[in-house]
Structure 1
Amino acid sequence: MQTYSFELFPNRGLIHIFLFSEVKNSLELRKRLLSHDAELSYAFINARVILDIFQLLIATNCALHNEKCSILKTHNINSEIVYNLSPNTNINEALRRFGISDDSTNIVVVKVGGEANEIKSHLTSLIQGTETSLENLFKFGDLGIIKKYYKVDNKIHDVKEILNIIVGSMAVKSVS
């Protein structure tokens, strides 16, 4: 778990990011998310579409900004974080591509606000998987899928350059 503070949004509290591997109950979690289960007040993200934690921080910052300005495109801050990872404005596609799927085995969880130990305890009771250090996040990303979703040329192999393209794609969406 890593915790961040966003100076522009001090009233929202800290941002907590977790990585879980070997998750066995993604199907159940996804069904509960689709039924708007209030107990799952988190952004659940498929780790295979994340290259770097910076993506998550950008998406979360944008979601917090949209919330503060009362311009959320989705129904809550958690789905807005997932939506903001996408390079396009199709909400259903964004949630399908970047949210967890029935067979996701590695997931990232973002929580806005709350106390870290309580959140960790709650998540470990919800998720049948192993909490893993976020330093290992890059190991779970699928570069082929990431390049496809963000339309990165296959000739580009430098991770920093790919990340710049990803962040640029996310930023361009917010002004379109």
Structure 2
Amino acid sequence: MNNPDNQNIAVAANKAVISKMQDKMTTKTLHTEILYNLSTSRNITQSLMKFGVGESDKNMLVGVIEESGEDRTDNVLSHFKGIISPIEELPKFSDTALIKKTYKIKDSELAVSTLTDSVVTRIATRDFTSV
């Protein structure tokens, strides 16, 4: 699943780290917790299927979570083949129609909000709303 910019990823990752610090993670690992937080579903399996890597995926966002002072990025990236693009290029890989469908965002909402703000709001408030 593509996202319009990295703010969405940052919110999901922040929620995951806070959940881990409070020992309240819904999933077993920090990485799956991030994928779970990107989803509007409370179903872990559905979240991982939708936001995880699929066999036909050609583009992916790789996030490296490290403790202060660590630098594992080069080691992690050495396991991937292809072109590495900076995070600023993430929007060019985004499928706006799919994002709108996934997060149930209507054009009327975008008249008063940006796509990014709408997605971030859904990610940030999922725990307080029922979808």
TM-score under structure 1 length normalisation = 0.66
Richer in strand (by share): 1
Work out the percentage of aligned pairs sharing the same amino acid: 26
Q: CA deviation at 1:88?
A: 2.1
* Aligned equivalent of 2:114: 161
Aligned-residue CA RMSD (Å): 1.8
Deviation >6 Å, runs of 4+: none
* Aligned equivalent of 1:108: 61
Contact 2:4 2:116 in 1 (8 A): yes
Q: Deviation digits for residues 52-95 of structure 1, max 9, x if unmatched?
A: 10001000100011111111111110100111011221111111
CA distance in structure 2 between the partners assigned to 1:168 and 1:152 by the alignment:
11
* Aligned equivalent of 1:119: 73
Which of 20, 26, 31 is the equivalent residue of 1:67?
20
TM-score under structure 2 length normalisation = 0.86
CA distance in structure 1 between the partners assigned to 2:3 and 2:103 by the alignment:
11
Contact 2:64 2:76 in 1 (8 A): no
For structure 2, list consecutive stretches of 5 or more residues without a partner in the other structure.
none
CA distance in structure 2 between the partners assigned to 1:70 and 1:156 by the alignment:
35
Question: How many pairs are equivalent?
Answer: 126
Contact 2:20 2:30 in 1 (8 A): yes
For structure 1, list consecutive stretches of 5 or more residues without a partner in the other structure.
1-45
* Aligned equivalent of 1:50: 3
CA distance in structure 1 between the partners assigned to 2:108 and 2:81 by the alignment:
38
Give the alignment of 1:124-139 within 5 angstroms: 124-139=77-92
- Amino acid across the alignment from 2:32: S
CA distance in structure 2 between the partners assigned to 1:54 and 1:83 by the alignment:
16
SS of the equivalent of 2:61 reads strand
Q: Out of 73-82 and 126-135, give the one that drifted further.
A: 126-135
Q: CA deviation at 1:154?
A: 3.9
CA distance in structure 1 between the partners assigned to 2:93 and 2:43 by the alignment:
25
